[in-house]
Copies of this chain bind each other. A is one copy, B any other.
Amino acid sequence: MATVAGDTCATLNPSVCQGVPPLLTDLYQFTMAYAYWRAGRHNQHAVFELFFRDNPFNGGFSLFAGLNDCLQFLRDFRFTDEDVEYLRTVLPSNTHPDFFAYLKGLDSSAVSVSAVAEGTVVFARVPILEVSGPLAVVQLLETSLLCLVNYASLVCTNAARFRLAAGPRRRLMEMGLRRAQGPNGGLTASRATYIGGFDLTSNALAGRLFGIPVAGTIAHSYVTSFSSLEEVCPKTLMPLRGGDPVELVPLVKDWLARVCQLLGAKPQQVREGELAAFLSYAIAYPFNFLPVIDSYSVSSGLPCFCAVALALCELQYQPLGVRLDSGDLCRQSLLVYNVFRQCSKQFSVPAFESFIIVGTNGVSEKSLSELNKRDNEIDVVGVGTHLVTCTSQPSLGCVYKLVEVGGRPRMKLSEDPEKSTLPGRKAIYRLLDTDGHPQMDLICLSEEPAPKVEEPIKCHPLGLDKAVQSVTPAHVTRLRLDVFSHGEILLPLSSAYESRVHAQTSIQALYPHHRKLEEPVSYTVAVSERIHSLVSDIRRGNS
């Protein structure tokens, strides 16, 4: 398993979606932009908020990811002539021609964004991003921003749950590229799952672009491509400490006989092709030997591995271990580990006791939790499909809602109270208690003074029919930062590594009852008294 902690510089090429064209949006954004333009309202100052209504996976928290992509999309936001000519063919024929000239001149120079830092723990209903600027422009940004935040945050949160399920020590490897929704689905998954707490990815491009440690060994096709020891070439290896090259085929055959005797196995149950494949692999990578041992069956693959590993050890090389890709991973890992100990003892090769065992077989959050509770010797778990497709909830459902226009608060009043929005431009505070644990996210109007440390504040928890509540914070942090203004990104883009460190710290700061995977205690999100009154006023039709 080749791994490397790569360059974590985010400036190399941090975007998974280089050149997300602004035409990648829903047509109705243009219908609306035109209607605003026609009414002369396109330059009215508007404020939109991006948030989700429920934490995914019935969980108690989420992680925010995707900010870098949003910022680069904003910076490069500009329609090409071809885009505008296309729009001319699909918008109604009576659209005023000056509107197309207007579109050609648009950019993000009048747009401002404040956002939570990537990797921060976030909760339902809390606005993660605030986007403000000319009404028509910020309306046009909606779909692209949602597309860039939704999946990144979902899969990052999913990864954090896998991390919690696995416990802190076991290493986790993401290997979902082939099951993701195409190339940048796969790249987004690799980056966001690393932030969420995975250690490694199989995705070589993600390694290059984001500095994520990459890993990988061999597939079944490599093993089945060999049929005889005659295919092994070259057939010799130099002992590490020097001396003449050693013929490996007879050496391995000799070790295989001894292993079979030790294990009470019949040499006929060992596939010659598999032995040839392992030997060729070992000759190519004598320091990195970690084959998959169940292409035919473990009863063939395990003796093959031991024979080749013993030959390598005899020549002073250090094999790495094995991968299991089918069946009951826990049970098989114990069997394998037991055989390693027998070999170590019988042949006096203590290296066998430190071999790693990698498990990869349709692992889900649930099976990982179970694996964590059962006896096993699995050191690294590889996860693909269930991680990147987020099987149990494949979409996050972020929304992008208008909260202020022309200086006046706006609110969507819905018959479904869950679908109503919170009006007005806001500041978001995370209140910590004396132990440093987050105890509440408080949503205030931006013109309100910030909550003060050790002063009680009255607030209204959301989603509960609770009355006013009083809270006295020990620490107060402002949750969002200004990240974009005048067409420019205001902060250095954070690398995947930096976001990962931040995410893990952010999760660790939570009370365990908020981060537990099943039936977590709800974290409190509250609004200030001012917002509460504003909502009441608007509901009564007074605003």
Contacts and interface: CB of A to CB of B under 8 A. Distances in A.
Interface in A197-223: 202-205, 207-208, 214-222
B221 A48 contact: yes
Contact of A40 (B178, B233, B296, B408): B233
A183 interface: yes
Contacts of A217: 28, 31
A474 interface: no
Contacts of A283: 38-39
**Nearest 4 CB-CB pairings of A with B:** A181-B185, A28-B216, A27-B216, A181-B181
Most buried by B among A148, A218, A394: A394
Contacts of A224: 402, 410-412
A133 to B, nearest CB: 14
B90 A6 contact: yes
A46 B226 CA distance: 12
Given A20-B183, A31-B2, A233 B295 contact: no
B326 A202 contact: no
A351 interface: no
Given A26-B203, A28-B219, A185-B185, A143 B178 contact: yes
Given A150-B179, A151-B180, A186 B35 contact: no
B204 A26 contact: yes
A31 B185 contact: no
A330 interface: no
Nearest to A213: B90
A233 B2 CA distance: 65
Contacts of A28: 202, 216-219
Interface residues of A, number: 122
A92 B288 contact: yes
Most buried by B among A26, A155, A415: A26
Interface in A36-95: 36, 38-41, 46, 48, 69, 82-83, 86-87, 89-92, 94-95
A416 interface: yes
Contacts of A232: 39
Nearest to A423: B224
A370 interface: no
A355 interface: no
B177 A147 contact: yes
Contacts of A147: 177-180, 182-183, 186
22 contacts: A3-B90, A26-B175, A26-B177, A26-B202, A26-B216, A27-B204, A28-B202, A28-B216, A32-B218, A34-B285, A36-B225, A69-B182, A90-B207, A139-B221, A142-B221, A143-B178, A147-B186, A181-B188, A183-B184, A227-B408, A295-B412, A327-B415
Interface in A88-109: 89-92, 94-95
A419 B326 contact: yes
